[in-house]
Chain A
Amino acid sequence: MKYFKLTFTLVLSAAVFYVLNTKLGSIPPLGKFLAPNQGFWQNDFTESGNRSDLELAGLNKAVSVRYDEQLIPHVFAQNNTDLYRAQGYITAQHRLWQMEFQTMAAAGRLSSFIGPGALNYDREQRRKGMIYGAEQALKTMKEDSETYAYIQAYRDGVNSYLAQLKPNQYPVEYKLLDYAPEPWTEEKTALLLMYMTDMLAGGDDDLPYTLLLQKIGRERFDFLFPDFYEVNDPIIPADRDWNDWQVAIPEKPEDYEPLNFDVDPMTPPHPDNGSNNWAVSPEKSASGNAMLANDPHLGLNLPSIWYVMQLATPEQNTMGATLPGALGIVIGFNNHISWGVTNATRDVKDWYKIIFQDDTRSAYRYEGEWRKTEKRLERIEIRGQEPFIDTVIYTHHGPVSYDSNFKGNGGRKEGYAMKWTGHLGGNNQRTLIELNAAQNYDEYKKALVHFAAPAQNFAFSSVTGDIAIWIQGDLPNKWKEQGKFLLDGSKASHDWQGFIPQEHNAHVKNPARGFISSANQHPVDPSYPYYVFNDGYETYRNRVINDFFRSKEKVSLQDFKDLHNNNYNLKAAELIPSMLAALDSMPLNSKEKAFMEELRAWDFNNDIDKVGPTYWEEIWDELRMMVWDEMRNDSLPLPYPYQYQTINLLKNHPNDDFMDIEETPEKETATDLFLQSLRKAVAKINMLKADGKPLDWGNYKGTYAGHLLQALPAFSRFDIPIGGNSSIVNATSKTHGPSWRMIVEMSNPPKALGIYPGGQSGNPGSRYYDNMIDTWAAGEYHSLAFMQENKADQTTIFSHTLTPRK
């Protein structure tokens, strides 16, 4: 009996140990997780100056870190190597989990700690060649010994922090998911840059365009998707003359014919990724100093994508937003210049149809011969399972993303290869490092040269009064229509023939109008000699911004703030009057009339307390889906024409065949669609009312900042009261928006404002995790304490000294 009891209690103890020490499904290992000496209780703290002296191996000289009231570190080092080592160390202190998670997401390694649920995502990342692209970038960066040494210093800084970190101090997400941080590597910095490249330049519509072209023919396709719109207000002012350039455009092959796709498409990047930037010259500035503003619109995530720092050495002093994992300031200013970026949205990803010789897929047809493929084994570790090995074939174009093993339906001998500037191996890190130190236009221009992808519109202003904008990236010099549709991977004439020469990347310096701006719109007017077509350029924000500046003689700092927070819905303003006019002649019931009165009373501003925007969204959703029932009802993933063109059709081609609803025997016109969408929208609004749902725009939209782990509710912030929407200058939709708002006046020294929807700490337990959200939502800013000397001042709340390890 006693031995039975002994065995029983032993087994019971072992079972309790196992259950409390093991992650079961989505439940964290409860013993580990709840134990105050090891679990989450250890993370319930806010950063403070308790420890003022920290040792950092490898430093040459001591580094001072002064934290201000927003927990922004102001870092003073004696040389660049120490500076970037300290940047790695400090960033890891505050954002370790996020910086690793994002690189794991880029590399397609989420399954290793999440489990099989992430396998499809990971495979997509591998098949997009994300690791391959990072390897190419790393190769280029290695050839640049100075940059590479800084990347290594950053790596060592992160790893010094990791070496001091005990498991009970791991960020809470590690405890929740029960895994541990890895050492940082140079490749992870390259992967972080790939993460951004994929987010901003990972999209293309070759597949849906091709499908639609096959379905409706050339003439109708061009009608729906013109290369330029008439209302184009491009980044480079239309009066820019390009005639002095010697330009060589490759010849369009005579036998060119778009081929057919047969795949299930991968997940595209979110369409609300975008940005605004602008700058005014001293002549147009009320203070007489050039001014610059930027607000990149990205996913509103927690921890925030940006981490603000001041990075100073005796030679340079720079402040602004950093990306955890990358070196230097990405968007910011120093005592001489300021710069900001928006996405250039150019088509830099093309697809080639590949025909393999046989089932072994070791060769593919190219110029009448069989060219060898390379096979890359992508090993995907999966938590709790055997690893998954995916063989990805590489051609000279790039990875064969789609084939019979992945989303390809065309059989064993067919595949689709991706050609992407993300695989070219640019040295973006060098651009950032040089921009941080740049003192004038020429140095800014020189710094940009290394930046390959994602192509960005780099706005610039300087203390000497220059303003400029360059559309920078490696941009393929294409023959007309090259890469708009599926290309033939067996023909050399379909290959990219080269790149637009650096000097011919569209740019403008000190334009006569006294301001520069960009908002993801068309970069140029049709006179630009290289081939550019409308591949999803934004058509509203740019016009509101440019009209704002044109309407004003002089512009003040307050004007910049007002413009960031401008909620004018130009899209709605361009359709609603026509819609109301058409509906006025129709027989309407009282509810329909009441709905129309709400729209008529609205001033087209998407402010939080208004109901007009809600009514507009409801009717516009219905209307768009009715116009494009041809796309919606098709089994193929056809593209929906852009909203600008949809409204253009409704207003100017009301009897076009596309207005017809295919299911009905009648032939509908735009007016019929207005009426039908009105009826549906009235029904939806009544349903919302009946359910007691709020109709004011702020609550209806329900903007939220979701934690990076699929918006885990406990670590996210919901119902943030902020207006705007996509296509509005204040581009805050439900999940995306101005992820960093910065305004810099180039006085001496510069004065700057900044805010972002989050906080400096990545720890959900910290008061600095989301402390800036409410200020951001209210349209307010914090003034950035740009310290001119390494001395604690009234903005400093505590300081650290990083000392070389003895």
Chain B
Amino acid sequence: MIKITQNFLLTLALAMVFSLFLPWWAVMVSGFLAAAIVRLQNVAAFFVPFLAILIFWVAYGWLLAKPNDFVLSEKIAVLLPLNGNVFLLLLVTGIVGGLAAGIAALFGNQLRYVLSTKNNG
């Protein structure tokens, strides 16, 4: 459980920092690095970074659009098409970010494993 919390917080912290100067794939880098630093087992290896970034992107998007009453978000939710539902759009946003981070984390996780077994062996 400690590792899960560590990975979660590390993923989130890295994503927040990298997003300041990297494009959207900042979340992939964060997932990758956090997983390489704090390895998780089984499904947690995917779902913890997935959840961290999902929350990050949902909150970030919400904070950007809320002061403007979601004027553009509503239009994008028509365009994509999500029936004009902003909550659905936030969820889709979170899932896309989480997916990218989770997959990158699996790679980071595996790379760390390969490197560590090589060193030990």
Query: Do residues A13 and B78 form an inter-chain contact, with CB atoms below 8 A?
Result: no
Query: Do residues B107 and A37 form an inter-chain contact, with CB atoms below 8 A?
Result: no
Query: Do residues A714 and B23 form an inter-chain contact, with CB atoms below 8 A?
Result: no
CB distance from B76 to the nearest CB of A (A): 5
* CA of A748 to CA of B98, assembled, Å: 63
- Residue ID in chain A nearest B81 by CB atoms: A714
* CA of A35 to CA of B25, assembled, Å: 9
Give chain B residues whose Cβ lies under 8 Å from the Cβ of A715: 75, 79
CB distance from B30 to the nearest CB of A (A): 12
Query: Do residues B114 and A3 form an inter-chain contact, with CB atoms below 8 A?
Result: yes
Query: Do residues A10 and B107 form an inter-chain contact, with CB atoms below 8 A?
Result: yes
- Say whether A43 faces chain B, with CB atoms less than 8 Å apart: yes
- Say whether B38 faces chain A, with CB atoms less than 8 Å apart: no
Which stretch in A426-434, A524-532, A762-770 binds the other chain? A762-770
Secondary structure type dominating chain A contacts: helix
Give chain B residues whose Cβ lies under 8 Å from the Cβ of A30: 96
- Say whether B6 faces chain A, with CB atoms less than 8 Å apart: no
Central interface residue in B20, B97, B113, by most chain A CB within 10 Å = B97
Given the interface pairs A6-B114, A36-B61, the reply to whether A13 lies near B72 with Cβ below 8 Å is no
* CA of A729 to CA of B24, assembled, Å: 51
Interface size class of A (residues with CB under 8 A): 35 or more
Query: Do residues A40 and B103 form an inter-chain contact, with CB atoms below 8 A?
Result: no
- Say whether A32 faces chain B, with CB atoms less than 8 Å apart: yes
Query: Do residues B73 and A44 form an inter-chain contact, with CB atoms below 8 A?
Result: yes
Given the interface pairs A34-B96, A41-B65, the reply to whether A17 lies near B23 with Cβ below 8 Å is no
- Say whether A694 faces chain B, with CB atoms less than 8 Å apart: no
Give chain A residues whose Cβ lies under 8 Å from the Cβ of B61: 34, 36, 41
- Residue ID in chain B nearest A14 by CB atoms: B107
Query: Do residues A764 and B24 form an inter-chain contact, with CB atoms below 8 A?
Result: no
Residues of A34-89 at the interface with B, using a CB-CB cut-off of 8 Å, are: 34-46
- Say whether B68 faces chain A, with CB atoms less than 8 Å apart: yes
- Residue ID in chain A nearest B56 by CB atoms: A36
* CA of A765 to CA of B79, assembled, Å: 13
**B81-104 interface code vs A (CB 8 A; 1 in, 0 out):** 000000000001100110110011
Query: Do residues B23 and A167 form an inter-chain contact, with CB atoms below 8 A?
Result: yes
Give chain A residues whose Cβ lies under 8 Å from the Cβ of B71: 44, 46, 764-767
* CA of A34 to CA of B82, assembled, Å: 13
- Say whether A172 faces chain B, with CB atoms less than 8 Å apart: yes
CB distance from B19 to the nearest CB of A (A): 4
* CA of A713 to CA of B113, assembled, Å: 50
Give chain B residues whose Cβ lies under 8 Å from the Cβ of A792: none
Query: Do residues A44 and B57 form an inter-chain contact, with CB atoms below 8 A?
Result: no
CB distance from B11 to the nearest CB of A (A): 15
- Say whether A208 faces chain B, with CB atoms less than 8 Å apart: no
- Say whether B41 faces chain A, with CB atoms less than 8 Å apart: no
CB distance from A715 to the nearest CB of B (A): 6
Give chain B residues whose Cβ lies under 8 Å from the Cβ of A714: 75-76, 78-79
Given contacts A167-B23, A764-B71, could you give 6 more A-B pairs where the C-beta distance is less than 8 Å? A12-B103, A13-B106, A16-B99, A37-B20, A37-B26, A44-B64
Q: List 6 A-B contacts (CB under 8 A).
A: A13-B106, A17-B100, A30-B96, A35-B57, A38-B24, A714-B76
